[in-house]
Amino acid sequence: MNAFIRTLGSLVFLIATLLCAAPTHAEDGYDLWMRYHLLAPEQVKRYDSHASQLIIGSTTPTQTATRDELQRGLNGLLGHAPLLSNDINRNGAIIVGTPSSSPLIARLKLDTTSLGNEGYLIRSVAVDGHTATVIVANTDVGALYGAFHFLRLLQTEQSVDHLDIHESPRLKLRVLEHWDYLNGQVERGYAGASIWDWWKLPDWRAPRYTDYARANASIGINGTVLNDVTDGATILTPTYLQKVAALADVFRPYGIRVYLSIRFSAPIEIGGLKTADPLDPQVQRWWREKADEIYRIIPDFGGFLVKANSEGQPGPEDYGRTHADGANVLADAVAPHGGIVMWRTFVYSQNNPDDRAKQAYEEFKPLDGRFRSNVILPVKNGPIDFQPREPFHPLFGAMPKTPLMMEFEITKEYLGFATHLVYLGPLYEEVLSADTMVHGKGSIVAKVIDGSLEGHTLTGMTGDSNIGTDRNWTGSDFNQANWYVFGRLAWNPTLSSRAIADEWVRMTFTNNNAFVKPVVDMMMGSREAVVDYMTPLGLVHLMGPGHHYGPAPWDASESRADWRPVYYHRADHEGIGFDRTSTGSDAVAQYAPPVAEQFNDLKQTPEQFLLFFHHVPWDYRMRSGQTLWYELVAHYSQGVDDVKQMRETWRHMDGYIDDQRYQQVASFLAIQQKEAQWWRDACIAYFQSISGLPLPPGYAPPEKSLKYYESLTFPFVPGYSSWQ
């Protein structure tokens, strides 16, 4: 009897708990920033009068996608969709299209010449005696971008009265790069497996592909590279090209072209040739025919991305040819079809004893002007490799005759993977606004890549994606912001990362200012926090060997010197840092003279880059008046304190958003704090073993011994696979 009552009791308790706990608005992050949740009643009232009718020019696939998005968005935000109509017969219509597809728009005679192929106007007008908002472009895709902009205004609760918005992208190629393998693994991926289900393609086109395209179109991304830069040649075989074509079909209405990473030795591997020498006529013919074959099934194929003679990949140098020879043979193959080649500059060689930071410049600068006009060179933001902080890459501004595109890493390979909250907007902005000084003050990196500095029209930005099969796409809710900010900056590299964070938070979580303000502040500070707890004062590449997880400043186990942390920090009993001045590796000389002069001078170098350019004695007096050793410990400790503060901020956010996302962020911040502490303690323990100095007063000693930190091993770190 007792047992029966107990069981009954537990059952009642369980049901009661389930009923109470069932979250009313559980959210798993799948909707990204396109949540379209019902706005507050006063906002609905405010916008209702601007969304009575929806008039769309035509029924092309892109206009249909535009109509569906607006209906979905307005239905969600306002609780009802506007009436679909062909003609205006009431106030508050939304009219979308191009002058050629919509007679209504044609009648307005708006000047669209400056909009180009992808720009749009959003304007409040009067048509036939009725008020309306028109979203006008020269192309359907431009109008789609405009529709997303309009929705964003509502999502972020901005005014839609008296609109006169005029937007067109500053960069032509706005590309996401997927480091995905055909077996489903993702190199440096921390959000699950590849979203491309190659096995089931081309017959099964997962709905997720469409949502992926919507998300990209909403921020203006117009290209996607489907496979990893170190992928094999299989992607170019007929079977796989059919699969690629199926994805291209899904993306086309959203203005997204597909690109492929190709393996330079493909003519040998799948073509049966004996060589891949770019000057061999048979090789040239092979690439031409391969391009023809691709364009037969994907007429708007974007082109090729290439990692050649880099980290063991095959390339033209295997045959004594240059990067230009290699790029040009591919460029010639795709040129008749309007394709382009993105030829990466991320090259360095273990056989070259010179400073790794100098090698890309040394190889590519002499080739300036030797590339075909449909070649663009991606340059990583800094000369090493996507570190938490690096100075801008010296190639920016150094190749005036060659289009360069920015390559950012969106996936956080060196920044704590999925669980550390690091908003990359400030990192991107710092590099884009860095002044190369090549044509005097104001020659900022953004102007190099938007083509305005040297008059290039082929321009672009590419981002190494953080997307995977995780339900929330990116491994954490806050990582979505990094995809978002990348797209927004690729559209306009002079936007402010804070403004972008603000709109993202509003769309992703809530418009409640009590949430928005502290969370945006937290995001904006998060990048400096990770710099502090991982690699302060210009240090780089202290991460664990190969997998790049956790601290390993002591590590010298890698096969290549230039993959070892000790190569980068060069700490010894006297001091720490890499001497790249004129008396050291002279990497500074790769910058324009005023910048070179600044970085060459210990006193003038910004302290955030100090140890990147100088080997500095431990007792060197910093600007604060404290010693370098003191400041190093202080920065490491500050990083941990910042994460504690982030947790505190988040604790106060409880209740403002759904519990599911709130809890996951809270848990991830706890992981981040634990790992920040580990970073701080391991690095201080190690550097103290080298400097032999006592900790400054007031700073806690590391929790464990250096031996302990050195003993940690991580056999199954995600994202570390295949080619390594």
Between the alpha carbon of residue 281 and those of residues 265, 315, 657, the distances in Å are: 15, 17, 62
Q: Residue 390 catalytic? A: no
Residues binding ligand BDP: number (CB under 6 A): 9
Strand 130-136 to 120-127 pairing: antiparallel
DSSP 543: B
413 scored as a contact of ligand BDP (CB under 6 A) = yes
Query: Shortest Cβ distance from residue 681 to ligand BDP (Å)?
Result: 25
The whole-angstrom separation of Cα 114 and Cα 121 is 10
DSSP 337: G
DSSP 646-673: HHHHHHTTTTTS-HHHHHHHHHHHHHHH
Query: Shortest Cβ distance from residue 434 to ligand BDP (Å)?
Result: 20
Nearest to 124 by CA among 58, 221, 57, 47: 47
Q: Using CB under 6 A, which residues numbered 682 to 721 contact ligand BDP? A: none
Query: Shortest Cβ distance from residue 50 to ligand BDP (Å)?
Result: 46
Nearest to 120 by CA among 198, 64, 186, 66: 66
Question: In sequence order, what are the residues at sequence separation of 6 or more whose Cβ sits closer than 8 angstroms to the Cβ of residue 440?
Answer: none
Length of the chain: 724
Which among 300, 311, 521, 586 is annotated as catalytic? 311
Q: Residue 42 catalytic? A: no
**Binder to ligand BDP among 27, 167, 180, 385 (CB under 6 A)?**
385
**Binder to ligand BDP among 386, 504, 509, 709 (CB under 6 A)?**
386
Q: Rank residues 290 and 307 by Cβ distance to ligand BDP and give the closer one.
A: 307
Query: Shortest Cβ distance from residue 414 to ligand BDP (Å)?
Result: 7
CB 583 within 8 Å of CB 577: no
DSSP 191-223: SSS-S--TTTTTT---HHHHHHHHHHHHTT--E
Phi, psi of 4 (to 5 degrees): -60, -45
Nearest to 209 by CA among 219, 222, 196: 196
Query: Shortest Cβ distance from residue 724 to ligand BDP (Å)?
Result: 7
Query: Shortest Cβ distance from residue 345 to ligand BDP (Å)?
Result: 10
Q: Using CB under 6 A, which residues numbered 20 to 49 contact ligand BDP? A: none
CB 68 within 8 Å of CB 96: no
> Could you give the string, one character per residue 177-216, with x where binding to ligand BDP holds by CB under 6 A and - elsewhere?
----------xx----------------------------
> Residue 159, class by beta-carbon neighbours within 10 Å (0-12 exposed, 13-18 middle, 19+ buried)?
exposed
Query: Shortest Cβ distance from residue 579 to ligand BDP (Å)?
Result: 24
Q: Rank residues 230 and 309 by Cβ distance to ligand BDP and give the closer one.
A: 230
The whole-angstrom separation of Cα 121 and Cα 111 is 9
Q: Using CB under 6 A, which residues numbered 313 to 352 contact ligand BDP? A: 346
Helix segments in 24-113, DSSP class H: 41-48, 61-78, 103-108
Which among 385, 390, 409, 675 is annotated as catalytic? 385
**Binder to ligand BDP among 66, 218, 230, 605 (CB under 6 A)?**
230
Q: Rank residues 306 and 516 by Cβ distance to ligand BDP and give the closer one.
A: 306
229 scored as a contact of ligand BDP (CB under 6 A) = yes
DSSP E strand stretches across 397-544: 404-409, 460-464
Instruction: Copy the structure tokens of residue 182.
Output: 């055909």
Instruction: Copy the structure tokens of residue 131.
Output: 């008020």
Nearest to 687 by CA among 625, 633, 612: 633
Instruction: Copy the structure tokens of residue 187.
Output: 């190199």
Query: Shortest Cβ distance from residue 358 to ligand BDP (Å)?
Result: 17
Query: Shortest Cβ distance from residue 356 to ligand BDP (Å)?
Result: 12
Q: Rank residues 189 and 538 by Cβ distance to ligand BDP and give the closer one.
A: 189
Nearest to 347 by CA among 364, 335, 326, 329: 364
Which among 187, 407, 409, 413 is annotated as catalytic? 413
Q: Residue 572 catalytic? A: no
428 scored as a contact of ligand BDP (CB under 6 A) = no
Nearest-10 crossing angle of helices 140-155, 61-78: 10
- Report the residue number whose CB is nearest to ligand BDP: 385
Which residues are known catalytic residues? Answer: 311, 385, 413
Which residues of this chain interact with ligand BDP, rule CB under 6 A?
187-188, 229-230, 307, 346, 385-386, 413
